[in-house]
Amino acid sequence: MTRTPAEARTPRMVPLARLPVFFALAGKRAVVAGGSAAAAWKAELLAATGAAIEVYTAHPGDEMREIAAQANVTIHRRDIEAADLAGTALAIGAFEDDAEAALFAALARAASVPVNVIDKPAFCDFSFGAIVNRSPLVIGISTDGAAPVFGQAIRAKLEALIPRGFARWAEAAHEWRPRVQALALSFRERRRFWERFTERAVAAPERAPTSSDIDRLMSETRGAASHTGSVILVGAGPGDPELLTLRAVRALQSADVILIDDLVSPQVLDFARREAKKMMVGKTGHGPACKQSEINALMIKLAKAGKRVVRLKGGDPMIFGRAGEEIAACRAAHIPVEVVPGISAAQGAAARLLVSLTHRGDARRLQYVTGHDRDGKLPADINWHAFADPAATTVVYMPKKTLRELSARAVAQGLDSTTPAVAVANATRLDEIIVQGTIADIAERIDADVPDGPLLVMIGRVLSEVVEAQESTVAASSASAAFASLPFAGESIAEIPTYSAG
């Protein structure tokens, strides 16, 4: 059966506990009610944005007085009144008593001022999250008040991951943007400029950007062809979105159009640019499939229209992904094409099973074999001598309909019928299914379990520990069941009858 390429709708935004927004407060007025240490921290935080802070408290603490001496903070030694909230951008309160907190929140809302009462979410219009500060690059983290310690732990992870030098690059971007806008560049040229800017920042985050950087970027950007697009073949990995490479993420975030295989995990698209058009052009093995010629034609048409096209494929695009045909089509049409490799399904499955596919002493060769030809049948040109090599590990892709015949032929050609075999469906995904057996019975075991999704079968001595571990688990489960059926199962040791010899 054939199918035509169809546009895939961008998934709707899942429910948000909080809307992450960033207030521009420079030169604006914000008020803080209360003089405690917590109120002082919020006053310092607001002052860091360039806001003018008015603090209302009859009893300012030491921390608040210290902040007022160093920042743009004014202390009024009295309680806050309704008139004090006029012309205010934000209002923060620190109250132990709920009645006082409720009164403050009511005053702020009556003046149409967003309000936050520290540690009292019932009186808050917004909340403060954990902050990673590389200003003007700023990251806020919220757990909706459920687990502040968890939010702080995530902040610590991000602090370790994000170089402090990014602050200088973000500041340079802020300063250079007017110059870039004044150049009247095309949309593609502007994107190229900022992509190359980002590449430089990531490559040398601790080096302060200089005027020579922008001059070089300008010269590299000018004249970028605005009428010709490009194609990137991107490996999406076997399913787990955390196995995407950084380069794959960058490609997805810069795409105009993404042509998606059915075998790609939907979660991978969470990393894609939301504005990108997404189209399903998948093949489902023995189900409905787009013709390769149609996929090639669509890919070329979009690129010639000036689009940056990402051809997103499951696993690695260079392993049974028809990448060669798509690369040839691009070259024939004089379309720039590149490849971003991905974690293959075999690599993902082996990692989950903790199996080295080339374990020393068990395997000297690793071979990949396709389980079906263009007509859906077992390929006629399989090298059965190589397949039967006891020192080889063989990974068979897409064998669901032909595995029984393949197994029988392999054994007939000399492969030991007791050779371990492990089938993995939906490798690395949450619904992953693993079926252990031997080359002689793996097809029957798969038929019994009927795994859905992309399937591969790994065959070879390196898999013996996987099969033995499964058999040990089954044996242990059987022993536990047998023990539970004994008359004294469940009794304490003191209650178990003892018997003497004789």
The catalytic residue positions are 261, 283
CB 331 within 8 A of CB 337: yes
Tokens of 435: 């079926």
Using alpha carbons, select from 284, 260, 285 the residue that is nearest to residue 271: 260
Q: Check whether the bond before 136 is cis (ω within 30° of 0).
A: yes
Residue 292's contacts (CB-CB under 8 Å, 6 or more residues apart) are 322, 325
The dihedral built from the CA positions of residue 237, 243, 248 and 252, taken in this order, carries a sign that is positive
Residues pairing with 331 in the sheet: none
Give the chain's radius of gyration (CA, Å).
32
CB 243 within 8 A of CB 348: yes
Instruction: Say if strands 455-459 and 420-425 run parallel, antiparallel, or are unpaired.
Output: antiparallel
**C-alpha to C-alpha distances, 468 to 392, 437, 441, 451, nearest whole angstrom:** 19, 10, 15, 21
User: What stretch of H or E contains 153?
Assistant: helix 148-161
* Alpha-carbon distances, residue 168 vs 137, 158, 193, 201 (angstroms): 9, 17, 17, 9
The amino acid present at 49, given as its one-letter code, is: T
- What would the two tokens of residue 285 be? 């093995």
d(CA 485, CA 227): 76
Tokens of 213: 């950087």
Where residue 167 falls (left for φ over 0; alpha for ψ -120 to 50; beta otherwise) is: alpha
